[in-house]
Amino acid sequence: MSTTKSSSPGGRDIAIIDTTLSTIAFQPSFQSSIDDDLFVATFDDPVDRNRYGYSKLQILATNNKDCLHSGYINGYPPKKHIHGIQNPAFGRAYNERILPGILGILHPSTSSSFVVPQFSELHAVHMVFSDGHELIREFPTVLLVFDVSLGTINTSEAKDLVLKISECIQNHWPRSVGRVYTDICESNVLVTSDARSGSNAQDPRILNPTVYEEKTPRPGASIGNIEYPTSSSTLSFYITNGDKTYATATDHGVFPAKELLKRSAAGFEVSPYDRKNTSSEIKMVSPSGADWQETLDALEIEIEEYKCNEKMFGLSEWKAALRDNPDSIDDFVSSHQVGINSTKEKISLISNFDRILGTVVATSEQLVPTATLFRFDWSVIECDGNKIYSNTYPPQSIVHEDRRALSNTDWLVQMNVKLKAGIRISQELSNEAMSSKTSFVKPSSARTGTRVAKFSDTVSTLYNGRCGITTEWAFSNLPGTPALTVPGDSGSCILSEDGCVVAVAWGGDDNTLRAVDLTYATPAKDLLQDIREKLQWEQVKLLRV
């Protein structure tokens, strides 16, 4: 095995591991040419399509001869991961010229005979092969995903798309600068017309009982609709209008996806919720019912374990073993009783904890205003005026996997100092401003700990039956680390290294309703502006307490 260096379009040197690999035989029906620009492989056999190596996607056509990495490392096939591209120059070329060109191909003028079904996702990403420890291959790729529920596409049509998209890419990013491939795939997952994050699809989380020592939840806390105890999402932050305090979270954290689909199927209109237009009230609690009950159950188990230990180490056995030091028996019994009493106190604290966060005032229902291309997914919750709320985060400590992947985490100390003084909203909304920053942080949230996020310089384009086509900021995890977010983390803030909130996540990683594992987030400044306009408030301010 030998290691060489190759330059990606991002200008970053990546390690290419040259290794002898056993090859799985497959016979794609491909069209080849002496001119490599015209090479396209198409895949009709379902078995071959699955060899793309990404569980949520099946390959239809590609101009990348190595897109099916069929080798084995230590007896196991390398895994394929998707990461954002960190390359400001390519990001500008893609966002300003390549993406509009591709959308023109996918949605041509009415006079064109080239008709393409509605796509579900469009990304420019790094397709990365890894054995879990080392980078094996990295391919900058424009990835176009179709979902059968929105329309089918055959391999001949997929081949034509590869050629057209590749030509568009080369017109604005020549091969001499860096090769960018094109993959056309079909999604293996069900994308519903609402395309909501699976806010009720993740296992509950056992919360540290110290959470219940605080009178009110802080940003990043677990929250849920009191009527749907199995669902969880994340508290974003607090805002004020006049003398009232409101909490913000995601819309789909108020109504779980299954409930909305059920209401829609029953003929109820699913529209933005506004308390002024209904006699019912929606109460939100923190922690969510799922997390609250899970913590209580864990403490009950802890008491049973204390009792089991007493039976396992019975007093007669301890008397025989500690004949020379009988006082130790009393110490043993005393320590167990102290542990049991302490756990019972925690159970009492949690059982009697006032979990009511407030009453929902309005939700966005994930509608997209004409002024922007971002998807808006928010809820505003009026809080109890007699309680004191805080827009500060507890000290953040990056999870072990991320810390191991970073060479320097000194900046986290300064970020924690700023977070202690209260969060601020970043005014930098341009992709260029975001690209100039090195790392971002997803603070501890309802389901996951503090994670380091990488901003993708290329926007992701998504289709949603309610929102239509939107372009979204995308964030990915560090290579070799777990997913950045999971269902239940919707509403999490994305912070820059200086502690400012740049965006609010609404869905992405490990989300069963999306094929590509990225975390999508809406710029925080735009989100607050949308809240102000929808609620017709004179101004929206962050809570300063």
**Residue 235: its pLDDT value, please?**
96
Share of the chain above pLDDT 90, in %: 34
Q: Which residues of the chain have pLDDT under 50?
A: 1-34, 191-201, 266-270, 369, 371, 509-512
For residue 488, is it left (φ>0), alpha (ψ between -120 and 50) or beta? left
* Tokens found for residue 284: 């939100």
264 in a structural domain:
yes
**Residue 195: its pLDDT value, please?**
31
With CA atoms as reference, report the closest residue to 184 among 419, 529, 515, 439: 515
195 in a structural domain:
no
**b/e per residue 470-493 (b: at least 16 CB within 10 A):** bbbbbbbbbebbbbbbbbbbbbbb
Model pTM greater than 0.85? no
Judge if 337 and 262 occupy the same domain. no
Ranges of H-type helices in 28-150 = 46-50, 88-93, 99-106
Judge if 469 and 399 occupy the same domain. yes
199 in a structural domain:
no
Judge if 441 and 306 occupy the same domain. no
Domain count across the chain? 3
Judge if 365 and 298 occupy the same domain. no
100 in a structural domain:
yes
487 in a structural domain:
yes
- The rounded Cα 485 to chain-centroid distance in angstroms is 4
Choose the final residue of a domain: 351, 372, 395: 351
Q: Which helix (H) or strand (E) holds 425?
A: strand 424-425
Choose the final residue of a domain: 307, 328, 351: 351
363 in a structural domain:
yes
User: Hey, which residues does 508 pair with through a beta bridge?
Assistant: none
User: Hey, which residues does 242 pair with through a beta bridge?
Assistant: none
Judge if 345 and 217 occupy the same domain. no
Residues 163 and 184: their CA atoms lie apart, in Å, by 11
Judge if 14 and 116 occupy the same domain. yes
Choose the final residue of a domain: 331, 351, 371: 351
Judge if 329 and 370 occupy the same domain. no
Residue with tokens 């490599």: 36
- The rounded Cα 250 to chain-centroid distance in angstroms is 13
Judge if 491 and 433 occupy the same domain. yes
What would the pLDDT profile of 426-477 be if each residue is shown by its tens digit?
877 778 888 877 789 999 999 889 999 999 999 999 887 767 788 899 999 8
Judge if 339 and 380 occupy the same domain. no
Q: Which long-range contacts (CB under 8 A, 24 or more apart) does 35-42 make?
A: 37/63, 37/166, 37/170, 37/175, 38/163, 39/63, 39/65, 40/159, 40/162, 40/163, 41/65, 41/67, 42/155, 42/156, 42/158, 42/159
CB 22 within 8 A of CB 71: yes
Judge if 252 and 325 occupy the same domain. no
Radius of gyration, CA atoms only, the chain: 26
CB 396 within 8 A of CB 415: yes
Judge if 487 and 376 occupy the same domain. yes
Residues 216 and 233: their CA atoms lie apart, in Å, by 16
User: Hey, which residues does 454 pair with through a beta bridge?
Assistant: 476
**Residue 362: its pLDDT value, please?**
87
516 in a structural domain:
yes
* Residue 105 burial (CB count, 10 A): 18
Which residues are CB-neighbours of 170 under 8 A, at least 6 positions away? 37
**Residue 278: its pLDDT value, please?**
62
121 in a structural domain:
yes
Judge if 105 and 163 occupy the same domain. yes
**Residue 47: its pLDDT value, please?**
86
For residue 453, is it left (φ>0), alpha (ψ between -120 and 50) or beta? beta
Residues 183 and 145: their CA atoms lie apart, in Å, by 9
| Domain around 244 | 209-287+356-542
